[in-house]
Structure 1
Amino acid sequence: MKPFRIFVADDDEDDRFLIMEVLKDIDQSFDLSFFSDGTALMEGLSNRPAEELPSIIIADLNMPKLNGLGALKMSKKMVQLRNIPFFILSTSSAERDIQESINSGAVDFLVKPNTYDDLLLILNRAINTVFGNNQPRFAHG
Structure 2
Amino acid sequence: MITYFIIFLLAAIPFLEVSMIVPVAVIGGLPVVPVIIIAFLGNLLTIILLIVFIDSIRNWRKRKKVNEEKNEPKSHQRAKQIWGKYGLPGLAFIGPFFVGSHLTALLAVTFGGTRSKTLVLMTASIAFWAISLGIAAHFGFDFLVKDEDDLGFITRLLNR
Tell me the TM-score range normalised by the shorter chain: under 0.3
Q: Compare the two structures and name the one with the higher helix fraction.
A: 2
Q: Normalising to structure 1: TM-score of the pair?
A: 0.26
Q: Normalising to structure 2: TM-score of the pair?
A: 0.23
Q: Compare the two structures and name the one with the higher strand fraction.
A: 1
